[in-house]
Amino acid sequence: MFIQKYVYRTNNGEVGKEYRIGEFPVYLKERGVTQILPGIGKTTRHSEIAAYLKINRKDQYSIFCLQEWIETFHRLNYDCFIVCDNPALYKILEKKVVFPSRRFQIIKSQTRVFNSLLRKMISKCWLKAGIAHFTTFSHAEKKGYAFFWNVDADDTAFCCNVEKRCELLRMAEEYARRNDLDAFSYDMWWTRSVGTHWSFGITFTKTMNKFISWIKFYANNDWQKDYKKYNVQYNVDWFFTFAKEKSILKCGTFYAEELILIHWGDFFRNNFASNISYFKDAHLHDLLHERLFNSQSQTWKIPGSIPCIIKLNSLNDSVSYLRNVVGLVNKG
């Protein structure tokens, strides 16, 4: 039985705690006996849009990233679900994460539903991540949300304040709705791959009807044949790249001008996948490479035409946030 402790802020600014089994609060009696409190705190859908924050890492920067995303979606007043399958993280969440309200819930991936299907579709090394991704689709459909954000919340962070993060996401939502897109993702790989690889990461998504039945139709590796030339490990991002190119789904990509995005990881040994980057003048720039080596060699021209949703601030503002807020992460 999965009992999770939540620490949250009350209406008067104090900190409270609550234990739940799934979405239901429980009262812990003596000797470990639990009692479900009937009807109290039962989750009802409040927002048209939900947010799914996928986490698996327990590094200090991961907790920082998660707290930033929690605050963002709290400001947007969205129902929010933390998708977590790492038991070692539950205690860390209890100690280090404060939820702004009770509208946050920790859920597990639907392994039984998607494990066998995804084993036929993608590489084994991407199986757990794929199951977590697809869980967001089926959960949103079951709960009746029209749209949802799907975020890799343990290794992504925008270098701007929460008001500007909310503005960016709202602008992306408006563009996606206006253009009837099935998935609209921040450009983390499209430009770096020279327009060959659409990816999740920070993605606004339209909820699909009968998603599991749709996936069963594609539960094979036939779709991979056009991508053998890249010699890659196939993940669900590559499957959605296929769906985009075959016009099965309308998947788009967007960016914001002069806004630093941190994709955390080993910045020195794997600088292509883990980076500190920003867009300016239709080019993607690697900030770390520029500052360390005074070089523009790690710069990519945006392929084709993808929308710049907004210019939130100047690059100097973003660098200031990087130094004064993000720079304190490991001191926490």
pLDDT given for residue 33 in this prediction: 40
pLDDT given for residue 13 in this prediction: 67
Q: Which domains does the chain have, with CATH numbers?
A: 1-42 (no CATH), 47-331 (3.90.550)
How is residue 267 written in tokens? Answer: 């910045």
Give how far Cα 108 sits from Cα of 23, 112, 113, 128, Å: 12, 11, 12, 11
- Compute the 3-state secondary structure of the chain and give helix, strand, coil in percent, each to the nearest 5: 35, 25, 35
How far is it, in rounded angstroms, from Cα 259 to Cα 320?
11
Tens digit of pLDDT per residue, the chain (332 long)? 456 777 776 666 677 777 776 666 665 544 444 443 344 344 556 799 999 999 999 899 999 999 999 999 999 999 999 999 988 898 888 888 888 887 888 999 999 999 999 999 999 999 999 999 999 999 999 999 999 999 999 999 999 999 999 999 999 999 999 999 999 999 999 999 999 999 999 999 999 999 999 999 999 999 999 999 999 999 999 999 999 999 999 999 999 999 999 999 876 666 767 789 999 999 999 998 888 877 676 799 999 889 998 888 899 999 999 999 987 776 54
pTM of structure? 0.90
Provide the 10 A C-beta neighbour count for residue 2: 11
pLDDT given for residue 37 in this prediction: 39
Provide the 10 A C-beta neighbour count for residue 101: 13
